[in-house]
Amino acid sequence: MTEQTCPSPQKVTLRHDWAREEAEALLALPFPELIFQAQLAHRQFFDPTKVQISTLLSIKSGGCPEDCSYCPQSAHHDKRMAAEKLMPLERVIADARRSKEAGAGRFCMGAAWRAPKDRDLDAVCRMVEEVKALGLETCLTIGMLTPSQSARLKEAGLDYYNHNLDTSEDFYGKIITTRTYQERLDTLANVRDAGIKVCCGGIIGMGEDTQDRAGLLTTLANLPTHPESVPINLLVRVEGTPLADEEAVDPITFARVIATARIMMPASHVRLAAGRENMSESTHALCFLAGANSIFWGEKLLTTPNPAQNRDTELLAMLGMSPMMQKTATA
């Protein structure tokens, strides 16, 4: 039998000119080939045994005026979460300190606002400053931002801003009607122009098809600069929301999205975000093989369940993986 040799892997380059058809073709690749390509991309930019660790705290929950079909914090749904006031600074800092002691390198804070009022930013900027002083990277997700608000947050020391696109532009109107797709893109541009790193991804399992998943990934990959973090969420089906009865997405399909995101945005952290509570150890391992290299630690993501830290610690040890070392954040 003639010995066959594999061709030398080509160097992966960052692209911003993807066609949706290319993303669809990647999603449709034979699974071993897709994982192989994702691994090549991952290993060129990252140590595949390291995982970036973040924690996420809801600093203001409930009463959101948006009608996002997946979100239990929306005031539009049958089962409404009571609106809460902004969390006191002391509680935020105590939670951030515990997160750092547990091994997190980034502390994310979320508020259920459509867009913060300028007076809201006074308290939020103070939170950013105090969390930064602990040596943690800082991240916020508090709704739409204007250029001036983005500049204020940058001055306070904000490192990352999360603002997800959720899905493709074509499918978007079936999920939310109170905010346009362009408004989301405008906020991303405002944040980027202010010098803040971008965290932007979407949700899988809301009834979208493969073309919609490809459309989301194409939009993300064709941004002027790839998001530094790309969270891929698996829908958490919450009772009382319009998407409570959506059909579950199988692990292979979900891993295909992870792998395609890794290939199209090879230098970005691809994060397993919401939905991990119901993932098995084998599904987690499959997603790490597909190129995921970031997770949230903590028992809750804003208002939905998340695996306990000890479960994640045991899983990483089982896989021979470990938290990514974080550079000390400076103001």
| Residue 200 annotated among the catalytic residues of the structure | no
Q: What is the pLDDT, as a whole number, of residue 175? A: 87
Indicate left, alpha or beta for 298 from its phi (over 0: left) and psi (-120 to 50: alpha): left
**Given pLDDT bands bounded at 50, 70 and 90, which one contains residue 241?**
confident
Q: What is the pLDDT, as a whole number, of residue 78? A: 64
| Residue 125 annotated among the catalytic residues of the structure | no
Q: What is the pLDDT, as a whole number, of residue 331? A: 40
Q: What is the pLDDT, as a whole number, of residue 4? A: 37
Q: What is the pLDDT, as a whole number, of residue 150? A: 97
Say which residue, 329 or 168, is predicted with more confidence: 168
What pLDDT digit, counting tens, does each position of 116-137 carry? Answer: 988 889 999 999 999 999 999 9
Which residues are part of a known binding site for [4Fe-4S] cluster? 64, 68, 71
Mean per-residue pLDDT of the chain: 87
Q: Catalytic pick from 199, 200, 256, 276?
A: 199
Q: Catalytic pick from 64, 125, 200, 287?
A: 64
| Residue 6 annotated among the catalytic residues of the structure | no
Which residues are part of a known binding site for [2Fe-2S] cluster? 108, 139, 199, 271
**Given pLDDT bands bounded at 50, 70 and 90, which one contains residue 301?**
very low
Q: CB neighbours (10 Å) of residue 289?
A: 17
Weakest mean pLDDT among 132-136, 241-245, 307-311: 307-311
Report whether pLDDT(329) > 50: no
What pLDDT digit, counting tens, does each position of 164-185 carry? Answer: 999 999 999 998 888 899 999 9
What pLDDT digit, counting tens, does each position of 211-229 carry? Answer: 999 999 999 999 999 999 9
What pLDDT digit, counting tens, does each position of 42-71 carry? Answer: 999 999 999 998 888 989 876 677 777 777
CATH fold for domain 28-316: TIM Barrel (3.20.20)
Q: What is the pLDDT, as a whole number, of residue 77? A: 57
Please give the torsion angle defined by the CA atoms of residues 214, 220, 224 and 226, in that order, rounded to the nearest 10 degrees: -120
| Residue 64 annotated among the catalytic residues of the structure | yes
> Rounded to whole angstroms, how far apart are CA atoms 204 and 206?
6
Task: Let me know: does 104 contact 268? Beta carbons within 8 Å.
Answer: no
> Rounded to whole angstroms, how far apart are CA atoms 57 and 296?
10
Q: Catalytic pick from 20, 106, 108, 213?
A: 108
Percentage of the chain exceeding pLDDT 90: 64
**Given pLDDT bands bounded at 50, 70 and 90, which one contains residue 80?**
low
Query: What value does the mean pLDDT take over residues 19-44?
Result: 97
Q: Which amino acid is present at 157?
A: G
Percentage of the chain exceeding pLDDT 70: 87
Say which residue, 20 or 275, is predicted with more confidence: 20
Q: Catalytic pick from 192, 271, 276, 287?
A: 271
Query: What value does the mean pLDDT take over residues 276-281?
Result: 88
Please report, for the chain, the start and end positions of each structural domain, with discontinuous segments joined by +. Answer: 28-316
Q: Catalytic pick from 139, 152, 184, 237?
A: 139
Tell me which range, 27-36, 246-255, 291-300, 320-329, is most confidently predicted by mean pLDDT: 27-36
